[in-house]
Structure 1
């Protein structure tokens, strides 16, 4: 019976502490120096490179298609 009571108390204690803990603990208090500018150069560069690669592929495919139709 003591084992059951001890297990019950541990479970209740964990339940209560895990429900109260998120309300009392904060990961951050806020940004003291907000940065209004977002770095977008990496994403734009990748999109530009992908667009150029896709365009080159389409041009090559069209040229192959035209040469195959002529012969």
Structure 2
């Protein structure tokens, strides 16, 4: 059941992660526009890292609890 929920959550995340039209990309004749490949990696990457650490700690605690 967990794997079905995880698969559905990932599918929904993929559908919502589409590029936005008119998102500030370079326009013809606008040399001051930002580089279109410059993608900020701020909030999403840190949340992913934090959740991975939390999952790892949970698995370690469960393993120690079973060893007792």
Instruction: Give the TM-score taking structure 1 as reference length.
Output: 0.47
Instruction: Give the TM-score taking structure 2 as reference length.
Output: 0.49
Structure whose alpha-carbon radius of gyration is higher: 1
Higher relative contact order (CA 8 A, sep 6+): 2
